[in-house]
Amino acid sequence: MTLDIATLLLAAMALDVGIALYAWALWLSCRSVRIHLWVAASATSATIGCLLYMLRQAAPDWVAIWLAQVCFIQTFAFLWAAIRLVHHRSHRLSVVWAASAVWSAACLVPPLFAAEQLRNVVATLGFTTYCLAMSVEMLRPEQARPAMNRVLAAALLWLLSGASLTLAVDSALQRDIVVPLNQAQTRAALWLMLYLVIYTVLILAVVTLELGNEAERQRRVATLDGLTGLLNRRAFFDLAGRLTAPHREMAVLMLDIDHFKRINDLEGHAAGDAALVRFATLLRRATAGEPTGDGRGPVLARFGGEEFVCLIPGGNEADGTRLGETMRRTVETDPSTPERPAMTVSIGFAAGPIRARTLDALLQAADAALYRAKHAGRNRVAGETFGGEPASSDGPRIRCA
């Protein structure tokens, strides 16, 4: 079977046109999603490049050679920009156009422009640079174990880069490489088939990675408090339900910022929001690396307003007392400024095995302990043991109430 490169170019154009039209339609319907713009630009560049290459024996050299190669280089440069956006990484336009700029500068040198073999090597180095850069993005260092689809995409990019460089070197060793499109060109046709397969896989990779990002955004909207970034009430109960089990110890702390209404009334709601964000940051700091009964870290959530909750899986009364006091001290000792008013927190906790109390009962007991802490003077920790005996803490002192 003879591979017809003209037919393969037409197939590549048809594929690229379909991808371009679909991506442009997506971007026009939602212009805030810039990934669709870069994919559309990539497919459009590929389409124009294939068309110009097919016209190489009819169009002027600066069109069929220089502009066609610019389009092929930008096909991968634009796709690299899309993958950077998928990973929430910025890019400079100067980098996106850098390889094309180098290629254009090389074409301005008459001896180089006249040597098609050398031109091919320069252009190939341009787009393979972006291919290798995309493979690095797919296997980013912070990913301990990249998913199989990422590994596959990176491997295909390496394969395309290797095949392109091999073809460029092979063509550089030939005396005359300008061959009519209707004449069999096995190596070039195989490269074009490889390009078709890999480019399609790369588009799918970008789409699936962005779908994963969108799923993560939706999950965050559904499970996280929009202001503080902590779990919201619904997500807290969903997670707590999975963590609780019969005969298991559990400790719950209810936290309430003291005199929070005063911050809102005197400083304004913007200052109140800033105080809530700062308070959530302090809670994360206080619970960072905190050991719990089952090795899982404490679970923090915002219940609403200035009320927060902390769940200690496998925790007991001692864990609740220790962590509550750590939180109280962390908030109390946080430096204040005129823009950051001082804060204190009252904390109530309850601990006991789930067989004796459901999570709701523990929350109610912790809320009752919080009420006692508030009425005992605020800025303290009050707790209820499994046997129902209340205990409280004012500063570092733990005493029976």
From 222, 250, 285, the end of a domain falls on 222
Domain count for the chain, please give it.
2
Q: What is the pLDDT of residues 39-56, one digit of tens each?
A: 999 999 999 998 888 887
Q: 256 falls in which pLDDT band (50, 70, 90)?
A: very high
Is residue 323 situated within a structural domain?
yes
Indicate left, alpha or beta for 307 from its phi (over 0: left) and psi (-120 to 50: alpha): beta
Q: Are residues 187 and 122 in the same domain?
A: yes
The pTM of the full predicted model, rounded to 2 decimals, is: 0.66
Distance from C-alpha of 16 to C-alpha of 196, rounded to nearest angstrom: 9
Q: Given this model, what pLDDT does residue 368 score?
A: 92
Is residue 274 situated within a structural domain?
yes
**What strands, in cross-sheet order, belong to the sheet with 345-353?**
299-304, 307-313, 249-257, 345-353, 380-384, 390-394, 397-400
Give the residue among 188, 123, 128 at the shortest CA–CA distance from 158. 128
For the chain, what percent of residues have pLDDT higher than 70?
A: 86
Q: Are residues 13 and 82 in the same domain?
A: yes
Q: What is the pLDDT of residues 333-363, one digit of tens each?
A: 999 887 788 899 999 999 887 765 678 888 8
Among 306, 317, 325, 384, the one annotated catalytic: 306
Residue pair 86/77 in contact (Cβ under 8 Å)? The answer is: no
Q: Are residues 143 and 289 in the same domain?
A: no
pLDDT exceeds cutoff 70 at 213? yes
Is residue 124 situated within a structural domain?
yes
Q: Are residues 214 and 249 in the same domain?
A: no
Q: Given this model, what pLDDT does residue 72 score?
A: 92
Q: Given this model, what pLDDT does residue 177 score?
A: 46
Q: Are residues 210 and 241 in the same domain?
A: no
Residue tagged 């499109």 (tokens): 181
From 162, 195, 222, the end of a domain falls on 222
Q: What is the mean pLDDT of residues 7-26?
A: 90
Q: What is the pLDDT of residues 279-296, one digit of tens each?
A: 999 999 999 877 655 556
Q: What is the mean pLDDT of residues 225-251?
A: 83
Q: Are residues 246 and 334 in the same domain?
A: yes
* CATH number of the domain that residue 382 is part of: 3.30.70.270
Distance from C-alpha of 376 to C-alpha of 364, rounded to nearest angstrom: 18
Is residue 266 situated within a structural domain?
yes
Q: What is the pLDDT of residues 83-139, one digit of tens each?
A: 998 888 888 899 999 999 999 999 888 888 888 778 888 888 998 999 999 998 888
pLDDT exceeds cutoff 80 at 301? yes
Q: What is the pLDDT of residues 144-172, one digit of tens each?
A: 567 788 888 888 889 888 888 887 777 66
Q: What is the pLDDT of residues 52-86, one digit of tens each?
A: 888 877 778 778 788 989 999 999 999 999 999 88
Give the residue among 393, 385, 325 at the shortest CA–CA distance from 352. 385
Is residue 228 situated within a structural domain?
no
Long-range contacts of 360-369 (CB under 8 A, 24+ apart): 362/250, 362/251, 362/252, 363/252, 363/254, 363/309, 365/252, 366/252, 366/253, 366/254, 366/309, 367/254, 369/254
Q: Given this model, what pLDDT does residue 178 score?
A: 45
Is residue 171 situated within a structural domain?
yes
Q: Are residues 298 and 354 in the same domain?
A: yes
Give me the domain span that covers residue 256: 233-400
From 174, 198, 222, the end of a domain falls on 222
Q: Are residues 257 and 208 in the same domain?
A: no
Q: What is the mean pLDDT of residues 364-369?
A: 92
Residue pair 232/302 in contact (Cβ under 8 Å)? The answer is: yes
Q: Given this model, what pLDDT does residue 294 score?
A: 54
Q: Which helix H or strand E contains 122, and what residues bound it?
A: helix 116-138
pLDDT exceeds cutoff 60 at 382? yes
Is residue 227 situated within a structural domain?
no
| DSSP, res 293 | T
For the chain, give the mean pLDDT: 83
Is residue 341 situated within a structural domain?
yes
Q: What is the mean pLDDT of residues 320-328?
A: 93
Q: Are residues 242 and 199 in the same domain?
A: no
Q: Are residues 253 and 130 in the same domain?
A: no
Distance from C-alpha of 324 to C-alpha of 330, rounded to nearest angstrom: 10
Q: Are residues 172 and 241 in the same domain?
A: no
Has 142 been annotated as catalytic?
A: no
Q: Are residues 76 and 182 in the same domain?
A: yes
Q: 310 falls in which pLDDT band (50, 70, 90)?
A: very high
